[in-house]
Amino acid sequence: MSAGSRFGKAVFLGLSLAVSATFMALAIESPQHFWLGWITLLPLLQAARVLSPLNAFGAGAFWGVSLLAACAAMGSHNISFSLSSAAILTLGPALYACFGAFLTRRVVFSRYLMGLG
Protein backbone atom coordinates (compact mmCIF):
# COMPACT_ATOMS: atom_id res chain seq x y z
CA MET A 1 0.00 0.00 0.00
CA SER A 2 1.45 3.35 -0.98
CA ALA A 3 1.99 6.19 1.45
CA GLY A 4 -0.52 8.36 -0.43
CA SER A 5 -3.17 5.67 -0.14
CA ARG A 6 -2.56 5.29 3.61
CA PHE A 7 -2.68 9.05 4.05
CA GLY A 8 -5.96 9.26 2.13
CA LYS A 9 -7.50 6.51 4.25
CA ALA A 10 -6.33 8.20 7.44
CA VAL A 11 -7.80 11.54 6.35
CA PHE A 12 -11.08 9.86 5.42
CA LEU A 13 -11.25 8.06 8.78
CA GLY A 14 -10.44 11.30 10.63
CA LEU A 15 -13.13 13.22 8.77
CA SER A 16 -15.69 10.48 9.32
CA LEU A 17 -14.87 10.42 13.05
CA ALA A 18 -15.26 14.21 13.29
CA VAL A 19 -18.55 14.19 11.36
CA SER A 20 -19.88 11.30 13.41
CA ALA A 21 -19.03 13.10 16.67
CA THR A 22 -20.78 16.20 15.38
CA PHE A 23 -23.86 14.12 14.57
CA MET A 24 -23.73 12.64 18.07
CA ALA A 25 -23.66 16.16 19.52
CA LEU A 26 -26.70 17.01 17.40
CA ALA A 27 -28.47 13.87 18.61
CA ILE A 28 -27.70 14.83 22.22
CA GLU A 29 -28.94 18.39 21.77
CA SER A 30 -32.00 17.86 19.60
CA PRO A 31 -34.67 15.29 20.48
CA GLN A 32 -36.01 15.25 16.90
CA HIS A 33 -32.59 14.04 15.69
CA PHE A 34 -32.34 11.14 18.16
CA TRP A 35 -32.00 8.68 15.27
CA LEU A 36 -28.54 10.06 14.48
CA GLY A 37 -27.30 8.40 17.64
CA TRP A 38 -27.94 5.02 16.04
CA ILE A 39 -25.35 5.51 13.31
CA THR A 40 -22.77 7.81 14.85
CA LEU A 41 -20.62 5.06 16.35
CA LEU A 42 -20.03 3.30 13.03
CA PRO A 43 -16.75 5.14 12.26
CA LEU A 44 -15.52 4.43 15.79
CA LEU A 45 -16.35 0.75 15.39
CA GLN A 46 -14.56 0.74 12.03
CA ALA A 47 -11.49 2.28 13.68
CA ALA A 48 -11.54 -0.48 16.32
CA ARG A 49 -11.87 -3.06 13.56
CA VAL A 50 -9.02 -1.96 11.29
CA LEU A 51 -6.52 -0.11 13.49
CA SER A 52 -4.01 -1.35 16.01
CA PRO A 53 -5.03 -0.88 19.65
CA LEU A 54 -2.76 2.15 20.06
CA ASN A 55 -4.04 3.82 16.89
CA ALA A 56 -7.62 2.95 17.83
CA PHE A 57 -7.01 4.62 21.21
CA GLY A 58 -5.96 7.77 19.34
CA ALA A 59 -8.98 7.57 17.05
CA GLY A 60 -11.31 7.18 20.04
CA ALA A 61 -9.68 10.12 21.80
CA PHE A 62 -10.06 12.21 18.64
CA TRP A 63 -13.75 11.24 18.45
CA GLY A 64 -14.24 12.27 22.09
CA VAL A 65 -12.49 15.61 21.63
CA SER A 66 -14.53 16.20 18.47
CA LEU A 67 -17.73 15.46 20.41
CA LEU A 68 -16.73 17.89 23.14
CA ALA A 69 -15.85 20.58 20.59
CA ALA A 70 -19.12 20.07 18.69
CA CYS A 71 -21.14 20.27 21.92
CA ALA A 72 -19.29 23.45 22.88
CA ALA A 73 -19.90 24.95 19.42
CA MET A 74 -23.62 24.16 19.69
CA GLY A 75 -23.82 25.67 23.16
CA SER A 76 -24.88 22.38 24.74
CA HIS A 77 -26.73 22.52 28.02
CA ASN A 78 -26.59 18.73 28.45
CA ILE A 79 -22.82 18.48 28.97
CA SER A 80 -20.91 20.32 31.65
CA PHE A 81 -17.66 21.73 30.35
CA SER A 82 -15.04 20.95 32.97
CA LEU A 83 -11.72 19.17 33.10
CA SER A 84 -13.33 16.00 34.43
CA SER A 85 -16.00 15.90 31.70
CA ALA A 86 -13.33 16.52 29.06
CA ALA A 87 -11.26 13.66 30.47
CA ILE A 88 -14.26 11.32 30.54
CA LEU A 89 -15.39 12.27 27.02
CA THR A 90 -11.86 11.74 25.73
CA LEU A 91 -10.83 8.62 27.64
CA GLY A 92 -14.16 6.78 27.42
CA PRO A 93 -14.27 6.40 23.63
CA ALA A 94 -10.48 6.00 23.49
CA LEU A 95 -10.50 3.05 25.89
CA TYR A 96 -13.55 1.56 24.17
CA ALA A 97 -11.87 1.68 20.74
CA CYS A 98 -8.58 0.39 22.16
CA PHE A 99 -10.30 -2.53 23.88
CA GLY A 100 -12.30 -3.25 20.71
CA ALA A 101 -9.13 -3.28 18.62
CA PHE A 102 -7.40 -5.53 21.14
CA LEU A 103 -10.38 -7.88 21.16
CA THR A 104 -10.46 -7.88 17.35
CA ARG A 105 -6.78 -8.88 17.24
CA ARG A 106 -7.20 -11.49 19.96
CA VAL A 107 -10.45 -13.17 18.94
CA VAL A 108 -12.21 -11.66 15.94
CA PHE A 109 -14.32 -8.56 15.36
CA SER A 110 -17.71 -9.22 16.91
CA ARG A 111 -20.59 -6.79 16.60
CA TYR A 112 -22.21 -8.42 19.61
CA LEU A 113 -19.20 -8.03 21.89
CA MET A 114 -18.66 -4.45 20.74
CA GLY A 115 -22.34 -3.68 21.33
CA LEU A 116 -22.17 -5.28 24.74
CA GLY A 117 -19.20 -3.05 25.53
d(Cα 19, Cα 56) in Å, to the nearest integer?
A: 17
pLDDT tens-digit map of 22-53: 999 999 888 888 888 888 888 998 898 899 99
Q: What is the mean pLDDT of residues 102-110?
A: 75
Q: Which long-range contacts (CB under 8 A, 24 or more apart) does 14-17 make?
A: 14/59, 14/62, 16/43, 16/46, 17/43, 17/44, 17/47, 17/59, 17/62, 17/63, 17/66
What's the pLDDT at 113? 62
What's the pLDDT at 30? 85
Q: Which burial class, exposed, middle or buried, applies to 95 when counting CB atoms under 10 A from its CB (0-12, 13-18, 19+)?
A: middle
Q: What is the mean pLDDT of residues 93-117?
A: 76
What's the pLDDT at 37? 82
pLDDT tens-digit map of 72-102: 898 877 777 789 888 999 999 999 999 888 8
What's the pLDDT at 1? 61
